[in-house]
A and B are shown apart, each in its own frame.
Chain A
Amino acid sequence: MAKAAALRKPKKKVNPLDKDGITYIDYKDTALLRKFISDRGKIRARRVTGVTSQQQRQIARAVKNAREMALLPYTTTAR
């Protein structure tokens, strides 16, 4: 028991969307979407973002829509 706790302590993540009361993820809201992409422009994994799987899908779709409209980058090389 003590050993397992020492190995990994499951830290409860707060859902960043529920916390701010966001129900609809808009692809135009780049400030919000930037929280969910890495500095290289990749979409962050759900285990990092801590949102529900439904929200993660909506985020992914919003990011992809935003990329098509050049609001977010597809890739960013070391910056």
Chain B
Amino acid sequence: MSKPTAIQVENLVKTYGDGTKAVKGISFNVGEGEFFGFLGPNGAGKSTTIKILTTLLRKTSGSASVAGLDVEKDAGKIRKLTGVQMQDTVLDEDLTGRENLFLQGHLQQMSGDPLKQRVNELLKVVDLEEAADKRAGYYSGGMKKRLDLASTLVHRPKLLFLDEPTTGLDPQSRNAIWSYLKQLNEQGITIFITTQYLEEVDRLCRRLAIVDVGEIVAQGSPVDLKKEIGADRISLGFENGNPGGAVLKDKAKQVLNSIGGIDNIVDSDEGLVVYAKNGGYMVPEIVRAFDGAQIHLASIGVSSPTLDDVFLKHTGKRIRVEELDKSRSSGMFGRRRR
């Protein structure tokens, strides 16, 4: 338990010039070598927190330290120890992949043969050896993300801050990034990550925190957080997709409320999700009650809670990856290349 701390945050507050309170007094610790997930809906304060921890933004109050160094007093030292990948892929598109890595190394005060070796090594790791001498502007989205990740690693950082490293990528590129990250973590690098991909968080993060409107609403290990839900998840799909949805759902909710033993009911794309202890026993009850009320079910399934459910419970919102991808890719359009 008494691992040295990589990140220590206490009562951290950030209020922007226009009065927006992006972060409202959060506290958390990340141990050395941890793979830590920092989750939350859009606008929860995730990126603001990352910017403060990476010395890019001044905090309003509270304290924050990285590798035992104060984010404001020792900003210069922190910048040498950390790698940061921003939410949007950031590369110099007029330079080649190799030149991008060299420039990043130079900015990190590296030079000569050690830098050359490191660049070659990284090009191999992210599988960009062949495209290394093409301009980054001609790379595909997945290649750009991989190059961006490589550029944060040139100086062998001890800590890696990643803001949505796989958003907007196809599944194959996404898997490639996740497997690099896993390897890096196994080499002892502390990883602090925000992402919309909860399955990966479940698989890789030892601990996570959920933020909502600038406050931490839950933190712990994925297993503990799921246990906290204390109920099984029963998903109900209605016949014919969901026509006249709202009326049908209201009727179904009334019926469900009359059964008893149900902790919570929420809307989903297919129909409803019901949380109840001993889900297996509840299924026949639900089917019987719906039969009596002339509500036809298309599907019914019981599963243990996922991080999705944990997220929903604490924020009242669901993470919708697809929508985000669309808005982001259209937002990037027309901004790159002059």
B and A form one assembly = no
What residues make up the interface of A, taking CB atoms closer than 8 Å to B? none
What residues make up the interface of B, taking CB atoms closer than 8 Å to A? none
